[in-house]
C-alpha cells in the first residue's frame, strides 16, 4: 500500500488529503501538524475549518485510510510521498520584509524530512512558494539526507475556500512539475497516478519545476487582477452613471474575456491573493524587472484604494461624521461559505470606521467573536509602509459589539455595511431592519447583493458599489 503523509493540516492539507483518501482506498493518507488543537479538531466532530461538504468526506474515510496525527516524524519516515502544505506567509522583518515569502516553516519541514528519512521519498510542494524554491529544498534534502534519493515535485493547489470540496472533486486541472530527468519523470508519473484515480488524464498537466511554481503565482495574480480591474471600473461607473454590473455582464459576454471573477466588491481578501502578488513583485524586483514589478503592484494598490474608497463613502454620505453613530457590519469573513478572516476587507473597513469614532456592531454567521477581536486588535504589516500600522485603537476595538443576529446588529443603527455576500443577507426582512434603525437609514452594499431600488422604496439611502449613486449619496459625496 502506498503511504502518503501531508505536513500541515490547514485549509489546503486537510481537504486535499481527505479527497485523496476518498478517491484512493488503496492509499493510506496521514495528515500531520505540530498544532495539537488543530489535529484534535480534525479528529473530532467539530472540524477546524468550515467548508461545505467536508464533514461528510472526512467522516467517510477517517479511521479507514485517512488519519490525523501530531506524530510528525513517525509518519514522515514511513511515507513514500510527502506533501508539504505548511503556511508560507509574507515576511514581516528582514530582507524582503512586506513582500517576500517567509519560508521558515517550509525549511524546517524540509530539514526534518531529511533527518528522519531512511527510504527514498517523493517530496511534493503543495504550499505556494516562490519560483526556484524546489532548488533550495533539493539542496537542503540532499546535503542532509544521508544518501537517500529525494525527488522534488511542484504540485500547487488551486482550490478556493468555500468551494474546496467541489474544486477538489472536479479540478480544472492538476499541475505537476518535476525534474526533466528519468527519475524526475518517474516521480511525476507516480503522483499523476494518484490523481488519475478520479481526475481525467487530459486534465493532469505536467511541466518542468519552474513552470509549475510560477504558474501558481501567475494564476493568483491574473485572478486578483480581474477583480482590481472591475473595481477600478466601479469607481468610474459611480463618477459617470454607468452600472458596474451591466458593464461586467456586457464585457463578460465576450468569450475572450468570459463572465467569471468580474464581481465588483469592497476589495478582495483571503490569505493568498495579496501575499502571492507581493511575492511575485519581489521576485520581479530580484530579477531586475522593476517595470513588471510595478505593473503587478498596482493590483494590490487598487485593492487598498477600493477599501478606503468604501470607508470614505460611508463617512461622506453620513454628513461627514460617524462619530458616536452606530454602524452595523454584516459579514466579516473574506467571502461567503467560509469562517476564514485572513486579510478580509472587513478588518480594514472596520478599523477605518473606528478611526472615525463610529460605534460598530458586527454579525457574521461563521466567524467567532474571539476571532474578530483578535483581527481587530492586531497590528497590520503594510508592504509599502516603513512600520506596522496600528489597529484603530485598542480601546475602540474593545467597544465593538459582536452579536449573534443581524437584526440585533442593525437595531438603532444609523448605517449598515454589507461586507460579505452571505445568502442570508439577501433574504433579510429589510422593512424590519428599516423600522428599527435611526433615520435617515443608510445601507452601504460592498458586495452588490441587495436590490437598491427595493430598499430605496422602503426609505433607505443606498450606496451600492459601482452603481448609479443615490441622489443623496451623490450630494454629500462631493465632500469626500
Ligand atoms: N488557503 C487556501 O485556500 C490556499 C492556500 N494555498 C497555499 O497552501 C499553503 C498552506 O495554506 P493553508 O492551508 O491556508 O495554511 P494554514 O495556516 O491553514 O495551515 C498550515 C498548517 O501547517 C502547520 N505547520 C507549519 N509548520 C509545520 C511543521 N514544520 N510541521 C508540521 N506542521 C506545520 C501549521 O500548524 C498549520 O496548521 C500556503 O502556502 C498557501 O499559500 C494554496 C491554495 C489555496
Ligand atoms: O491560492 C489560493 O489561496 C487560492 O486563492 C483564491 O481562492 P480564495 O482566496 O479562497 O477565494 P476566491 O474565490 O478567489 O476569492 C478571493 C477574494 O476575491 C473576492 N472576489 C472574488 C471574485 C470576484 O468576482 N470578486 C471578488 O471581489 C472574494 O470575495 C474574496 O474576498 C483562488 O481563487 C484559488 O484558485 C487559489 O487556490
Longest dimension (CA), the chain: 75
Res 124 pLDDT > 90: yes
Q: How far apart are CA 295 and CA 150, in angstroms?
A: 37
Using most ligand atoms within 8 A of CB, pick from 265, 309, 345, 422 the residue to mutate for ligand 2.
265
Percent of the chain with pLDDT over 90: 91
Position with higher pLDDT, 469 vs 303: 303
Residues 268-292 have a mean pLDDT of: 97
CA distance 359 to 324: 6
In this predicted structure, what is the pLDDT of residue 386?
44
Please tell me the predicted confidence (pLDDT) of residue 381. 64
Quickly state the pLDDT bin for 384 (edges 50, 70, 90).
low
Predicted local confidence at residue 397, as pLDDT: 74
Number of other CB atoms surrounding residue 292 within 10 Å: 15
- 26-30, 57-61, 211-215, 336-340: the lowest-pLDDT one: 336-340
Where in the chain are the domains? 2-199, 230-477
- Does residue 382 surpass a pLDDT of 90? no
Question: Looking at the predicted structure, is the pLDDT value of residue 479 above 50?
Answer: no
Q: Report the distance separating Cα 454 and Cα 336, nearest Å.
A: 23
Q: According to DSSP H, which parts of 253-333 are helical?
A: 273-286, 290-317
Q: Which CATH superfamily is domain 2-199 in?
A: NAD(P)-binding Rossmann-like Domain (3.40.50.720)
Average pLDDT of every residue of the chain: 94
Ligand 1: residues within 6 Å at CB?
7-13, 32-35, 38, 72, 85-88, 105, 108-109, 127-128, 157, 159, 161, 271-272
Q: Is 130 helix (H, G, I), strand (E, B) or coil?
A: coil
Which of the residue ranges 48-57, 180-189, 289-298, 393-402 would you say has the lowest mean pLDDT?
A: 393-402
Q: Distance between alpha carbon 418 and the CA centroid of its chain, in Å?
A: 19
pLDDT per residue over 410-449, tens digit each?
999 999 999 999 999 999 999 999 999 999 999 999 999 9
CB count, 10 Å around CB of 439? 10
Stretch 194-213: mean pLDDT: 98
Q: How far is the CA of 41 from the centre of ligand 1 (A)?
A: 16
Across residues 334-358, what is the average pLDDT? 95
Indicate the length of the chain as a whole number.
480
pLDDT at 389: 55
* Residues 66-89, mean pLDDT to the nearest whole number: 97
The confidence score (pLDDT) of residue 1 equals 80
pLDDT at residue 383 above 80? no
Whether 286 sits among the annotated catalytic residues: the reply is no
Ligand 2-lining residues (CB < 6 angstroms):
128, 157-161, 220, 223, 227, 261-263, 265, 268-270, 272-273, 334-335
User: Cell match 452606530: residue?
Assistant: 326
Instruction: Answer with the residue of higher pLDDT: 412 or 473.
Output: 412
Residue in this structure with the C-alpha cell 479540478, named with its chain if needed? 171
Residue 387: the pLDDT is 47
- For the ranges 54-63, 233-242, 271-280, 377-386, which has the lowest average pLDDT? 377-386
Mean pLDDT of all residues in 259-270:
98
pTM: 0.95
At 379 the pLDDT is 74
Nearest CA to ligand 2 atom 19: 268
Catalytic residue among 5, 24, 237, 272: 272
Distance CA(238)–CA(233), nearest Å, equals 9
Protein residue whose Cα sits closest to atom 42 of ligand 1: 157
With the most atoms of ligand 2 within 8 angstroms of its CB, the residue from 160, 274, 299 to mutate is 160
pLDDT at position 147: 87
Ligand 2 mean position, distance from CA 236 (Å)? 23
- Residue 277 Cα to ligand 2 midpoint, Å, equals 13
Q: What is the pLDDT of residues 134-187, one digit of tens each?
A: 999 999 999 998 889 999 999 999 999 999 999 999 999 999 999 999 999 999
Q: Which ligand is nearest to the CA of 336?
A: 2
What pLDDT is recorded for position 470? 82
Task: Output the pLDDT for position 12.
Answer: 97
CATH architecture label of 230-477: 3-Layer(aba) Sandwich (3.40)
Buried b (16+ CB within 10 A) or exposed e, 140-176: bbeeebeeeebbbbbbbbbbebbbbbebbeebeebbb
Check whether 372 has a pLDDT greater than 60: yes
Amino acid at each position: 500500500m502506498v503511504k502518503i503523509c501531508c505536513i500541515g493540516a490547514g485549509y489546503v492539507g486537510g481537504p486535499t488529503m481527505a479527497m485523496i483518501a476518498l478517491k484512493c482506498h488503496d492509499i493510506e493518507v496521514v495528515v500531520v501538524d505540530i498544532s495539537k488543537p488543530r489535529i484534535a479538531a480534525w479528529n473530532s466532530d467539530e472540524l477546524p475549518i468550515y467548508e461545505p461538504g467536508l464533514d461528510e468526506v472526512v467522516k467517510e474515510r477517517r479511521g479507514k485510510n485517512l488519519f490525523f496525527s501530531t506524530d510528525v516524524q513517525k509518519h514522515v519516515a514511513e511515507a513514500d510521498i510527502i506533501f508539504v502544505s505548511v503556511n508560507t506567509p509574507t515576511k514581516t522583518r528582514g530582507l524582503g520584509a512586506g513582500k517576500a515569502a517567509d519560508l521558515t516553516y517550509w525549511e524546517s519541514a524540509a530539514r526534518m524530512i531529511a533527518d528522519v528519512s531512511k527510504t527514498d521519498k517523493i517530496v511534493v510542494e503543495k504550499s505556494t512558494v516562490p519560483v526556484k524554491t524546489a532548488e533550495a529544498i533539493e539542496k537542503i534534502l540532499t546535503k542532509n539526507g544521508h544518501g537517500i534519493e529525494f525527488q522534488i515535485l511542484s504540485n500547487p493547489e488551486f482550490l478556493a475556500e468555500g468551494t474546496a470540496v467541489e474544486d477538489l472533486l472536479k479540478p480544472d486541472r492538476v499541475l505537476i512539475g518535476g525534474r526533466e530527468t528519468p527519475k524526475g519523470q518517474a516521480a511525476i508519473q507516480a503522483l499523476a497516478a494518484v490523481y488519475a484515480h478520479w481526475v481525467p488524464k487530459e486534465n493532469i498537466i505536467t511541466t518542468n519545476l519552474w513552470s509549475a511554481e510560477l504558474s501558481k503565482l501567475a494564476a493568483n495574480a491574473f485572478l486578483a487582477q480581474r477583480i482590481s480591474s472591475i473595481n477600478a471600473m466601479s469607481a468610474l461607473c459611480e463618477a459617470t452613471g454607468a452600472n458596474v454590473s451591466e458593464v461586467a455582464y456586457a464585457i463578460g459576454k465576450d468569450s475572450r474575456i468570459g463572465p467569471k471573477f468580474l464581481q465588483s466588491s469592497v476589495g478582495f481578501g483571503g490569505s493568498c491573493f495579496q501575499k502571492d502578488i507581493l511575492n511575485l513583485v519581489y521576485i520581479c524586483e530580484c530579477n531586475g524587472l522593476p517595470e513588471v514589478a510595478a505593473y503587478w503592484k498596482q493590483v494590490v494598490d487598487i485593492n487598498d484604494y477600493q477599501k478606503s474608497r468604501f470607508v470614505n463613502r460611508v463617512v461622506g454620505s453620513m454628513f461627514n461624521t460617524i462619530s458616536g453613530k452606530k454602524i452595523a457590519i454584516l459579514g466579516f469573513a473574506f467571502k461567503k461559505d467560509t469562517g476564514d478572516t485572513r486579510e478580509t476587507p472587513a478588518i480594514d473597513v472596520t478599523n477605518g470606521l473606528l478611526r472615525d469614532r463610529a460605534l460598530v456592531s458586527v454579525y457574521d454567521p461563521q466567524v467567532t467573536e474571539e476571532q474578530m477581536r483578535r483581527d481587530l486588535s492586531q497590528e497590520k504589516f503594510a508592504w509599502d509602509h516603513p512600520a506596522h500600522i496600528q489597529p484603530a485603537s485598542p480601546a475602540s476595538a474593545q467597544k465593538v459589539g459582536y452579536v449573534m443576529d443581524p437584526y440585533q446588529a442593525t437595531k438603532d443603527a444609523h448605517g449598515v455595511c454589507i461586507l460579505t455576500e452571505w445568502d442570508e443577507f439577501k433574504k433579510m426582512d429589510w422593512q424590519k431592519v428599516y423600522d428599527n434603525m435611526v433615520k435617515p437609514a443608510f445601507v452601504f452594499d460592498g458586495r452588490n447583493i441587495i436590490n437598491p431600488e427595493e430598499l430605496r422604496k422602503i426609505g433607505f439611502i443606498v450606496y451600492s458599489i459601482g452603481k448609479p449613486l443615490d441622489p443623496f449619496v451623490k450630494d454629500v459625496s462631493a465632500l469626500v
